[in-house]
Structure 1
């Protein structure tokens, strides 16, 4: 009989604890103290690999101090990071490549108008190593207005290099010329990527937006 009463006592204690827990839970719902759905399970995933390549140094905004343009690989993906002279990160952008041996090998800084500067980034996208060989290079364009580095934007451009082994043992290679000049005479220079009769034009619109022809 004593054991029976002890069992009932323990059951009442745990029931009371459960009731108080439920009461606290509903109170948190009403007061908004509970975290939003998914927040308690939210995780921050850091890249497993963060390899930093040789950095480029340019005085991007003309203030007499050089910024650092730093190529990086994060989980096998190419990124570009820009830091000011105090090493504060002011921009980062992702560049999609086709091969594991992709790398930035050249950056060209030019003015396309009195208030717009662009940095043309030449990315070797690597090569495929399947049944057929293919290797490509592509430009990316960093643009900003009025020397304001807080408003840098990056736009993917066309290929400037394409080498391919095609069907029936055919092989071809195209090295495009990348030039900057005022195509339409409006006072703003365009980026022209040309190979023989192939011509691809990037025209700046405003606020980091480009139009391609």
Structure 2
């Protein structure tokens, strides 16, 4: 469980992680411990889990929770494991506007039965690429960049 003051009202909200029926969930509860939002993660294998949560400011009015989620791994003939970025946005410190999106991969690991092995961490950053006052989320690896652009009212465009 994480405790964060999401809306700057000097009262903490609770972020609760739950494993239920082979599904991974994130729930946000208000200061009265009433559930106000739930997000279901897409799980791909064993040992899936949330390993990092960051609260960031996208603009004067918009905040996001950046959630790093290990989707799990499989261990058949080849080992494959991935992590993915999820973002939960809200505007004007109003927790009724909470909205989540599944973003790009931020970690990739692969090993086959022969000799090939790779581990590809991705760098996550925030930058206002188009100078509109709203920062975009950039996920970079080597020469490849995925950009998550917040369009407002919980809507995202991922390229």
Which TM bucket (shorter chain)?
over 0.9
Unaligned runs of 5+ in 1: 1-54
Please give the secondary structure, in 1, of the residue aligned with 2:96. helix
Larger helix proportion, structure 1 or 2? Answer: 1
Larger strand proportion, structure 1 or 2? Answer: 2
1:87 equivalent in structure 2: 33
Q: Which has the higher contact order (CA 8 A, sep 6+)?
A: 2
- The C-alpha deviation readout for 1:54-108, integer Å capped at 9, x for no partner, is x111100011111001111110111110001110000011001111210111101
Please give the secondary structure, in 1, of the residue aligned with 2:60. coil
Q: How many residue pairs align between the two structures?
A: 159
- Native 8 Å contact 2:87 2:103 kept in 1: yes
TM-score (norm 1): 0.72
Unaligned runs of 5+ in 2: none
2:10 equivalent in structure 1: 64
- Native 8 Å contact 2:86 2:103 kept in 1: yes
1:49 equivalent in structure 2: none
1:174 to 117, 120, 140: 120
Please give the secondary structure, in 1, of the residue aligned with 2:11. coil
TM-score (norm 2): 0.96
Q: CA deviation at 1:166?
A: 4.7
- The C-alpha deviation readout for 1:170-204, integer Å capped at 9, x for no partner, is 11110001101111111100000001101010000
